[in-house]
Structure 1
Amino acid sequence: MKALTKANWALKVFAWRYIPLIGFCSPRIEVMDEHRLQVSIPHTWRTKNHLGSVYFGALAIGADLAGAFLVFQKAKRRGINANFAFKDVQGEFLMRPEARVHFTSQDGAIIDEMLDDSINSGQRVNRPVSVLVTCPALHGDKPMAIFKLTLSVKARAR
């Protein structure tokens, strides 16, 4: 099975088992490699607000996934246990996304450093990660929103 297909299945299982609200938004991993993760969320009755744009809660879910799902994947690949959460979030909303939205984080190297630092120190490590939100169908690469999230990771060898 291709890596992206496996990752999407892992996301579905994780969502429906632990955080059903994520599954309700039907996210899909579009791109995933060592440095970048791109997740999309459709523009449907489940994710739209009263103005017809993607609701703030759905945008937060997409930013959460793009900012942290690589921790899950990288920890699994390394055979380590990693607990992660967000300490804070800042969002700058630039335009209303009115079609499928894409959430892109290019902070894979930061996540690698966080896992290494946490394993070496035995402590929780906090670092900011960035997520760019776009709506390619309507606006190409023009940003709809920019999120900055402080990711908190505690990792240990199994």
Structure 2
Amino acid sequence: MSLLSHTARATLMLRAFGFAKIPLLWACRPSVIELNDEMCVVKIPNRRKTRNHEGGLYIAAMSVGAELAAAVIALFQIRRRGRKAKFIYKDFEAHFLKRAEGDVHFTCSDGETILKMVDETVRTGERVNRPINVIATVPSIADEPVAQFVLTLSLRDVSGNS
């Protein structure tokens, strides 16, 4: 039994990885709000280092949030199966609908798609590409989206390759 919830552990691992490998990720101070088989919600706070001159979340911070919402659920699915996998994003489409003037929650509900990708790459050993959807909202203001993203996740099982 752990003293930390699985979302708190995921947040700590994410921030430690960012500190060690990707300083921009660490500077955004992401938090995992929800994580299960179907979905992941990552929060990026609207603070001085992530805010643009208009008071909204900077485009780079928005991109970090969208990428992490998909990445965290992919890592969750991969680890639950005891596998190792490498993944990248092949492309990134963003539609900014409103100014994000508060802490932004990035929600990826494509856990089932990602699970099928993991199963397929484990079975075939080949790289698998699928579009993954992420919706950004500012719950403190309204539940309607402030941005929509489609990222093509490219995943390959490397469990046999050390």
Cα distance, 1:55 vs structure 2: 0.5
Aligned equivalents of 2:37, 2:96: Cα separation in 1: 28
Name which of structure 1's ranges 66-75 and 31-40 shifts more when overlaid on structure 2: 66-75
Task: Please name the residue that 1:90 is paired with.
Answer: 93
**Normalised TM-score (structure 1):** 0.96
**Which residues in structure 2 correspond to 1:1-158 (within 5 Å)?**
1=2, 2-139=5-142, 141-158=143-160
Cα distance, 1:77 vs structure 2: 2.0
Letter in 2 for 1:102: H
Alignment partner of 1:137: what SS? coil
Cα distance, 1:60 vs structure 2: 0.2
Q: Deviations over 1:75-133 (max 9, x none)?
A: 12211111011000111111001010000000111111101111111110000000000
Q: Deviations over 1:39-73 (max 9, x none)?
A: 00111000001111100000000000001111112
Aligned equivalents of 1:145, 1:24: Cα separation in 2: 21
Name which of structure 1's ranges 15-24 and 28-37 shifts more when overlaid on structure 2: 15-24
Aligned equivalents of 2:97, 2:130: Cα separation in 1: 24
After TM superposition, where is structure 1 displaced by more than 3 Å over at least 4 residues in a row? none
Cα distance, 1:156 vs structure 2: 3.4
Q: Which ranges of structure 1 fall in alignment gaps of 5 or more residues?
A: none
Identity, % of aligned pairs? 38
What is the aligned length? Answer: 157
Aligned equivalents of 2:34, 2:132: Cα separation in 1: 17
Aligned equivalents of 1:94, 1:66: Cα separation in 2: 19
**Normalised TM-score (structure 2):** 0.93
Q: Check conservation: 1:71, 1:82, Cα contact below 8 A.
A: no
Q: Check conservation: 2:135, 2:145, Cα contact below 8 A.
A: yes
Q: Check conservation: 1:118, 1:156, Cα contact below 8 A.
A: no
Letter in 1 for 2:108: S
Letter in 2 for 1:143: P
Q: Check conservation: 2:130, 2:154, Cα contact below 8 A.
A: yes
Name which of structure 1's ranges 126-135 and 73-82 shifts more when overlaid on structure 2: 73-82
